[in-house]
Amino acid sequence: MEQNYTKEKKGLTGYPHIDKMWEKYYDPKFLAKPLPHDTLYGYLKSQTKGFDDYVAFDYFGNKIPYGALHENIKTAAKVMQSVGVGYDDKVMSLVANIPEAAYLMYGTSLIGGISDYVDPRPDSVDINISAQKLLLLAKNEKIKTIVALDQCYLGMIKKIENELKELGVENIILLSAKDSLQLSSEAIKNMSKEEVGAMQQKMLKMQKMADMLNAARKNSPLNILDYSDLVRDTYFVDLKDVPYTPGKIDVITHTSGTTSPIPKPIPLSNDNLNMYVHQTYGANMNMGEKDKGLHILPYFAAFGLVNVLHAGLCRGWELIEVPEFSPAELGKLIVKNNAQIIIGPPTWFLNMMQDPVLKNADLSYLKMLTYGGDSMECEDEERINEFLKNHNSSIKVTKGHGMSEVCGCATYATLDYNDLGIMGIPMPKTIYAVVNPETKELLRFGENDEYLEGELIISSPSITSGVVEGKVIVPHQKYDGLDFIFTKDIARMDRNGKLTFLSRLDRSFTRYDGFKVKPYEIENLLKQDARIKTCIVSPYLDAEKYGNMIKVTIVLEDGIELSKDDEVEFVKDIINNYFVSNANVSSRQIPNKFVFKDKLPISVNGKVDFNAVANESLTGDEVTVLFAETNLSVGDIEIRRANDSMVLKREK
């Protein structure tokens, strides 16, 4: 039900961080509520009191109630305690969205440990380079214990076992996607023949995986332990949980698109996570107990860990666990599960409109479709809203702005502050201000100003401390006694506090899958090649993925001329030398389109016209780089123009 809190403030200063104009949209009673001060698990337990019979997880038809969730968390805490995890010990976690991952996150927190989440899929086409990146991360973040999917152990960890042993790693705890896969006869009965066949193939692959594991672990210098076996051995373990400590770091997520060989770590405390959830109660979000939410976004990203998992469980959702995902499967997942809450990047929802599964679907059960991580054109937002209306849904797509450093979401757009094209208003306990992008001086509303335009900065109890192993990863700056972080987002704020995204200071953009692409990183990499005079990295819209992919426009040094065939060979050489064999880049930074030009367009002020390059239409004559991707795997690279192609095989 729509609520209206429109009490105007008097005596405005013109500074948003002082006036907080957006608070008029929130219930004053909520704004006056005391903030939570509790451990991660303590807060979950208090918010789900009386929910024991509600379903917490639906994992391929296996319904796991909240009562079992609490017991499984305590068991996971005993497991981690039994293998020697202590206070502030970091546990590297390469996990997918399976129930055991949640048990271990809360269980590790319960005994004072820190779950350090890493992208479980190979980050490079060369699996050996991915393994070396993992080793470097383990060294830098002082990892002593690793929790991993069995396939991650075989694919990456096995290759660096001796080096991990030298770092002091003793135990590798293996998770299997089949551990909670207890298909009931009712679940099987509701499956189509295709789904039953797919499940049989999945089980067959799992058995082959088990056979490979048995062979691989025989000569391991490490203790390779099965989580399911450790669970059985915890009966006599006396659990020693730790009390609440303000600001205690409980999890570490990682950002994408970084100049370092490894992703940037983002430490998040119990208060960070709990304060985000607390704000959702006052932010007029259309969610409640027993709502079915798709859990697709991963653990290593705050968007998935905090905004979906922790918030979803604390709010009493039934989380539908999706361990491996392709955007083409979204419609099927929605219809099969009658999913009510879907949170993800805008490409998912643009894809929905073309999904044949949803063509005649009744979507009246949808409650909340929210996108973040990238902006969306007003026309596309209108199209999605019309699509929802035509499929019997009463909702409109909602959205927000945020970053990993603030637990994912920091603004939200709904009700009468959900205008087309805006990112909403700051969350109830979050403060935004606007600064001059160059001088970093605070901007204020003048008497006749309708809006401010500049770089957004954020202050919130959900902001990371930004310090890992004594190093400042995320710098803070104080304004009027408040801690702020810089976003590098150029935006417009109106007098109501509504925010509209305009651009990024560093020209960065988001791929269709949520990966942040920073053009200067790839440009600097390519400019190392003596044949390249200059280059520009920009996004292009991939029609099949309904989202951005990477295009690079190259100008060669004077005197170098290439035939069409030579261009393909040139790209093959570039991919091999600067991406496949380079431990400092991710496979998701590989450009997908290569355009060769004699010169770049110049703006009226004599500088390269980046917008003109980005807006140039594709002709079909570009050299194209393709490889299959899911959230857990990377395929071989194919480089082609028209019908010609050459394939770069990656090591299995």
Q: What is the 3-state secondary structure (H, E, C) of 476-531?
A: CEEECCEEEEEEEEEEEEECCCCEEEEEECCCCEEECCCCEECHHHHHHHHCCCCC
pLDDT, mean of residues 372-395: 93
What are 377's two structure tokens?
């054109």
On average, the pLDDT of the chain sits at 89
Identify the band that residue 411 occupies on the pLDDT scale cut at 50, 70 and 90: very high
Which residues, in sequence order, are CB contacts of 428 under 8 Å at separation 6+? 23, 26, 30, 31, 279, 282, 283
In the predicted structure, residue 261 carries a pLDDT above the cut 80: no
pLDDT, mean of residues 604-622: 82
In the predicted structure, residue 145 carries a pLDDT above the cut 60: yes
**What digits encode the pLDDT tens for the residues 23-71?**
999 999 999 999 999 999 999 999 999 999 999 999 999 999 999 999 9
In the predicted structure, residue 377 carries a pLDDT above the cut 90: no
* pTM for the full predicted model: 0.84
Identify the band that residue 259 occupies on the pLDDT scale cut at 50, 70 and 90: very low
In the predicted structure, residue 5 carries a pLDDT above the cut 60: no
Compute the half-sphere exposure of residue 575: CA atoms within 13 Å on the CB side of its CA.
31
Residue 122, beta-bridge partner list: none
pLDDT at 133: 86
Give 580 or 331, the one with higher predicted confidence: 331
| Count of other CB atoms within 10 angstroms of residue 162 | 10
In the predicted structure, residue 4 carries a pLDDT above the cut 60: no
Identify the band that residue 634 occupies on the pLDDT scale cut at 50, 70 and 90: low
Residue found under tokens 């700051």: 426
* Domain ranges in the chain with CATH number 3.40.50.12780: 61-267
In the predicted structure, residue 343 carries a pLDDT above the cut 70: yes
**CA dist list (Å): 423 to 374, 397, 398, 412, 651:** 10, 11, 9, 6, 43
Q: Which one of 2.30.38.10, 3.30.1490.20, 3.40.50.720, 3.40.30.10 gives the CATH number of domain 1-31+419-505?
A: 2.30.38.10
Identify the band that residue 190 occupies on the pLDDT scale cut at 50, 70 and 90: low
Q: Which one of 3.30.420.480, 3.30.300.30, 3.40.350.10, 3.10.450.30 gives the CATH number of domain 509-648?
A: 3.30.300.30
**What digits encode the pLDDT tens for the residues 203-220?**
666 666 677 787 888 889
pLDDT at 180: 78
* Domain ranges in the chain with CATH number 3.30.300.30: 509-648
Whole-angstrom Cα distance, residue 513 to residue 547?
Answer: 8
In the predicted structure, residue 633 carries a pLDDT above the cut 70: no
In the predicted structure, residue 649 carries a pLDDT above the cut 50: no
- Percentage of residues of the chain with pLDDT beyond 90: 67
Compute the half-sphere exposure of residue 480: CA atoms within 13 Å on the CB side of its CA.
11
Letter for the amino acid at 633? S
Give 3 or 493, the one with higher predicted confidence: 493
In the predicted structure, residue 650 carries a pLDDT above the cut 50: no
The CATH class for the domain spanning 61-267 reads alpha beta
Whole-angstrom Cα distance, residue 478 to residue 485?
Answer: 9
Whole-angstrom Cα distance, residue 273 to residue 251?
Answer: 9
Identify the band that residue 249 occupies on the pLDDT scale cut at 50, 70 and 90: very high
pLDDT at 186: 53
- Percentage of residues of the chain with pLDDT beyond 70: 90
Identify the band that residue 630 occupies on the pLDDT scale cut at 50, 70 and 90: low
Minimum mean pLDDT range among 36-50, 198-212, 255-269, 272-286: 198-212
Identify the band that residue 607 occupies on the pLDDT scale cut at 50, 70 and 90: confident
C-alpha Rg value of the chain to the nearest Å:
25
What 8-state DSSP symbol labels residue 651?
Answer: P
Number of H helices and E strands in the chain, helices first, is 20, 31
Q: Give the pairing of strands 623-626 and 637-641.
A: antiparallel
In the predicted structure, residue 2 carries a pLDDT above the cut 70: no
b/e map 313-335, b = 16+ CB within 10 Å: bbbbbbbbbbbebebebbbebbb
Minimum mean pLDDT range among 214-218, 444-448, 483-487: 214-218
pLDDT, mean of residues 397-413: 96
pLDDT at 328: 84
CB 115 within 8 Å of CB 256:
no
pLDDT at 178: 82
- What stretches of 31-184 adopt beta strand conformation (E)? 55-59, 62-65, 90-94, 114-117, 143-149, 171-175
Give the distance, in angstroms, between the CA of residue 539 and the centroid of all CA atoms in the same chain: 19
pLDDT, mean of residues 380-390: 96
**CA dist list (Å): 110 to 104, 211, 502:** 9, 34, 42
* Domain ranges in the chain with CATH number 2.30.38.10: 1-31+419-505
The most confident of the ranges 157-171, 507-521, 533-547 is: 157-171
